[in-house]
Amino acid sequence: AETDVNGQISILENAVAGNPAAVVIAPTEAKALGKPIDEAASKVKIIGIDSGADSKAFTSFLTTDNIQGGRVAADGLAAAIGEANGGKVEGDVALITALPGAGSLEQRAQGFKEQLAAKYPGLKLVADKYADGQATTGLNIATDLITANPNLKGIFASNLIMAQGVGQA
């Protein structure tokens, strides 16, 4: 599971023990995986994808501009709200980040909040919640948000699994 940082460290250590030419890793938690990646890189090439880690030991790194992804999500949510609201881009919105500490998800949330503040003064972020990476948790958080905020116009869920849960609400 994405929340099992110790499990990811163990997988990394086991992969390195097999003496491969390289290991490809998508770190789930930047701080916790920095040192294990540094240690692994002393033995094999490390290629990072998606999220970074507190390490300079990557041989190569492939990533998405997640801050821009969050901005695009804010634009999309604003457009949908405007379309449903007679052209008015106003109302309450919420953010659910799937996992605390996951670099790509934190960056998406950052971009989303920055874009709301910069371009959409009529949209008010009334909730900024963290989940545990499980769709059922996304469903429960979204249900609670809808109940607590009757004027809620939209929710940005930071990844597919959260979006699936939110969509069920």
**Domain(s) of CATH 3.40.50.2300: residues in the chain:** 5-62, 66-168
Tell me the CATH number for domain 66-168.
3.40.50.2300
> Taking 70 as the threshold, does the pLDDT of residue 109 lie above it?
yes
Tell me the pLDDT tens digit for each residue of 39-93.
999 999 999 998 778 899 999 988 889 999 999 999 999 999 999 999 999 999 9
pLDDT level of residue 31 (50, 70, 90 thresholds):
confident
CB 32 within 8 A of CB 9: yes
Range scoring the smallest mean pLDDT among 24-33, 69-78, 106-115: 24-33
Q: CA-CA distance, 20 to 11, in Å (whole number)?
A: 13
pTM over 0.85: no
**What is the model's pLDDT at position 41?**
95
Percent of the chain exceeding pLDDT 90 equals 72
Q: CA-CA distance, 34 to 58, in Å (whole number)?
A: 10
> Taking 70 as the threshold, does the pLDDT of residue 3 lie above it?
no
Could you give the strand order of the β-sheet that contains 60-62, starting from the edge strand earlier in sequence? 22-25, 45-49, 60-62
Compute the average pLDDT of residues 90-111: 91
Q: How many CB atoms lie within 10 A of CB 4?
A: 13
CB 21 within 8 A of CB 44: yes
5-62 is a CATH 3.40.50.2300 domain: yes
